[in-house]
A and B are shown apart, each in its own frame.
Chain A
Amino acid sequence: AQSVTQLGSHVSVSEGALVLLRCNYSSSVPPYLFWYVQYPNQGLQLLLKYTSAATLVKGINGFEAEFKKSETSFHLTKPSAHMSDAAEYFCAVSGGFYNQGGKLIFGQGTELSVKP
């Protein structure tokens, strides 16, 4: 079974500041991990994914995440926040082949606000 916990339902940063969104997962099989972003009234867009290759994953819009097996974490970071980064972010885990159908289990979401 898989589960995801996102620490902090709301995060607020100033423009130009570091963005850190936390995600911890639980998985009984080697996990595939994803971060998605959702802008208001839109669907979900993939930011980045971990699929057992490099542990540091780079995504779109300057975001990156590091897979740490010992900490069961997959935190999302961006060195310098832009106003356009304001959105809701979801961490998700999948068991892939072992979890038939590759279905995603999502965290509760973190809403990121960026102050001018």
Chain B
Amino acid sequence: NAGVTQTPKFRVLKTGQSMTLLCAQDMNHEYMYWYRQDPGMGLRLIHYSVGEGTTAKGEVPDGYNVSRLKKQNFLLGLESAAPSQTSVYFCASSYTYGLENTEAFFGQGTRLTVV
């Protein structure tokens, strides 16, 4: 049972380069999220999706774009990478049971360094 899988696990980019992080989940979850984790700041929400074909901005969306063309996949794009985007990126998915908020399941993370 794979759960949430992130690709790649590590990446080094030069300033101005672009890249796409891929998140795939096999739990048929409606909701998917991208977070970034920085020391002393916890996890901050970048973008999220409440279903296939829909996306919304989180707390720190600037410099990122996302797409959810298929229910199981959520892509995070950096069009022109900046050193401030050096971080660990986590993807998560969840579902709502009736009116109850269930837990989010997290991937293993992608460590991105922009030089």
Contact = CB atoms under 8 A, between A and B. Distances in A.
A51 to B, nearest CB: 5
Secondary structure at chain B's binding surface: helix, strand, loop or mixed? strand
Nearest to B109: A43
Contact of B99 (A46, A97, A105, A109): A97
Interface residues of B, number: 29
A46 B104 CA distance: 8
Contacts, number: 75
A108 B40 contact: yes
Interface string A40-55: 0111111001011000
Interface size class of A (residues with CB under 8 A): 20 to 34
A42 B42 contact: no
Nearest to B45: A103
Given A46-B103, A90-B43, A96-B101, A101 B90 contact: no
Interface of B: 4, 31, 33, 35, 40-45, 48-50, 56, 58, 90, 92, 94, 96, 99-104, 106-109
